Structure 1
Amino acid sequence: MSSAHQPSAPVAARVIRTAELAPQPWANGRGRTREVYRQLAAGSTESTLWRLSLADIEATGPFSSLPGMDRYLLSAAPVRLRLSIDGTEHELRHTQVVSFAGDARVSTVAVEGCAQALNLMVRTGLRGGIEVLRGDADLPVTVATAATIAYVVLDGTVTLDGRPLRRLDAVLPGAEESALVLRDAVVARIQVEVP
């Protein structure tokens, strides 16, 4: 299930229940991913500005190569995940983030159980990133918030305008301000500077 960005923002913030998204095979066929959201370049039906997805990683092996994109990967499950990126090993624990070029040589070296990775892919030349928020916070959510394009629940109690959110649910800001409330929570704030 894929959602291409519309030219105008929705009036209210939108909740995407990641658990309801159908898994699709990786480009190289070695894993599964759920596309949370994709924004296309203005006037295009194929050119991606950024894409947010959640991957299941259960085995070692190479990642797909994505030339022309920069990638940000957050370990979204409480299991250790070890990656090799251009020959350098990185051991990621829950909520740790690593970034790399889309055409880097990346492979899973070791995984304990079923790992999950929250992936942000941004067209090279655009600035992006994943910031992890922890604890209690009352956040105004709107498209007017500079560069923030999504929030993803990783743990704890989170509500949007009083509606409870589940682990891995995503929130896309709308034109109207909504209230995102975190209580003893961990949330990923996804940022992309879109021209």
Structure 2
Amino acid sequence: MIRAASLVPQPWKNGGGMTREIATGPQGASLDGFAWRLSLADVALDGAFSSFAGVDRVLVLLDGAGMRLAEAGGAMHVLDRPLAMARFAGETAIQATLIDGPTRDFNVMVRRDLARATVEALRGTHAIECGHDVTFVFCVSGQIDMALADGACLTLHSGDTMRLDQPAACIAQDEAGWLHIGIDLNRDRAKAN
């Protein structure tokens, strides 16, 4: 279990904001060496996103009125409600404009030649299988009671993350919002690096 209070703030790669790393693969990998990375980001000002060449990104709005992400090629992603999601290539030039004040978002980044990610934004109660190489549950809001296949029960509060190594029933209290993240590794490429 990774508790929200244990996450340490650090500057973005481009210095334009603050991030809190949740987990990386391999563990302890640098920003240039990860195969996958989960993090939280606080966006306080309009500005450019950091560039991550060769990385696919998924961004989920957690708190705040949201933001518009304008790609240099003209595409626009609007995240204007909790659990709104955008997917884009990390090397794409992105300009973020806040809608009405600061936001917090959840980031999933995978180096596209080494891994791929699936991200589901959910509310309510769901069963989670461990059909991925790495599976996480992140509590966006409220509380989630997790009944694990081995009989253990754990509770996630807002901002907590759980890496699952066994199937679980995620029981969301009062329609709590949460994310199910699956990471699958490209084993042939990962072995070569």
What TM-score, normalized to structure 2?
Answer: 0.81
Indicate which of 84, 91, 94 corresponds to 2:78.
Answer: 91
Matched, 1:129 2:115: no
| Aligned-residue RMSD, C-alpha | 2.2
Amino-acid identity (%): 31
Once the two structures are superposed, the pairs formed by residues 145-160 of structure 1 within 5 Å of their partners are 145-147=131-133, 149-160=135-146
CA distance in 1, matches of 2:141, 2:177: 5
Query: What is the CA–CA distance in structure 1 between the aligned matches of 2:47 and 2:93, rounded to whole Å?
Result: 11
4+ residue segments displaced more than 4 Å: 176-179
Moved more, 23-32 or 70-79: 70-79
Distance in 2 between the 1:140 and 1:120 partners? Answer: 19
Asked whether the equivalents of residues 148 and 189 of structure 1 are also in contact (C-alpha less than 8 Å), the reply is no
TM-score by length of 1: 0.80
**Structure 2 gap segments, 5+ residues each:** 147-151, 188-193
Count of aligned positions = 175
**Which residue is equivalent to 1:163?**
154
Shift of 1:113: 2.1
Q: CA distance change for structure 1 residues 97 and 147 in 2, over 3 Å: closer, same or farther?
A: farther
Q: Does 1:62 align with 2:48?
A: yes
Q: Which runs of 5+ in 1 are unaligned?
A: 1-14
SS in structure 2 at match of 1:127:
strand
Q: Does 1:120 align with 2:111?
A: no
Distance 2:116 2:145 in 1: 28
The corresponding residue for 1:185 is 176
Deviation per CA, 1:41-89, whole angstroms, max 9, x where unpaired? 9xx8873110000000010000110001111101111422111123322
Q: How many angstroms does 1:146 deviate by? A: 2.9
